Amino acid sequence: MQTLITDSPREAADFINRGQIVAFPTETVYGLGADITNDDAVQRIFLAKGRPGDNPLIVHVYSPKEVEKVAASIPETARKLMDRFFPGPLTLVLCKQSRISPLVTAGLPTVGVRCPRHPVTRAFLRECRHPVAAPSANLSGKPSSTDWKSVHEDLNGKINCILRGEQSAIGLESTIVDCATEPPRLLRAGAISLDELRAIVPGLLGPAAIEEHAQPKSPGLKYPHYAPSAEIRLCGEEYGVCEGGKETAWIGLSPPPEGAAVTCRCDDAGEYAHRLFRFFRECDREHIRTIFCEMPPPEGIGQALRDRLRRAAEGK
């Protein structure tokens, strides 16, 4: 299969409408999409990524009004969050309509729905006949792709088309809130913090421990994620010290250790999030064996960063 690279949202949408799969930019990370009504196309997402079948996908819509096409009902708490954060980096888990392929939801009665704010994404989704189901556009378990070149590196020849855009502005996957339960619960941290969510829905619960063998209601909860080839070592006050060396790398907010081969000092947690996955991929290209990652403070997007770093360390 030859993977086409295009700058045209309409051309990329034509692939989706013909039952094929397309990688596309969003403000969080790049997604790998298929028509939610086409079982064969959705199955090709799982095959291209090597993704476990019990890991559900997020449905992307171009307008908040389109949520009604995929959700059987929209609770008042969900409407409040949509009014404040749609379009944006927020996914809401809602009871699903039967028209959605069960492959999208991994057989669950719920579906995660998101309305991205990226203008290229919205132009692309507007041209698609149906909403688009999409996980991150990378090989399963590896760092998410935040630029089209990383998508090409992982998936060239495995997917039909890449819609080219700029590097993702945020760099971490969306915040996910389960609104199919009462009170709603944060499932995955992201750029929208728990405090921001509670400012709209005061009773919203924080993340709960996921049972080891439980089927996840959203991506990013069960399997190791976000890991480069190198070993990840967390460092900071509550963890350990970082070390320099010719096959080591370092990323964080403090000055890097002497001797590290690849370093990335960030001004704040937002820049750290923006650069993290791209840095992991750079370390793979430089054959780094150990990456020291400084844990940021747990405020704002720092909470999401800590989650991704812990999961990357679990994977390696």
User: Which residues line the annotated binding site for L-threonine?
Assistant: 28, 60, 114, 134, 174
Tokens of 296: 């940021």
Name the binding residues for ATP: 51, 55, 110, 136, 144, 188, 226
Q: What's the CA gap between 35 and 287, in Å, rounded?
A: 37
Name the binding residues: 28, 51, 55, 60, 110, 114, 134, 136, 144, 174, 188, 226
Tokens of 138: 């990378």
Q: What's the CA gap between 210 and 154, in Å, rounded?
A: 29
Q: Which of helix, strand or coil describes residue 258? A: coil
What element of type H or E holds 181?
none
Task: Please give, one letter per residue, the 3-state secondary structure of 263-292.
Answer: EEECCCHHHHHHHHHHHHHHHHHCCCCEEE
Q: What's the CA gap between 269 and 252, in Å, rounded?
A: 9
25: how many CB neighbours lie within 10 A of its CB?
28
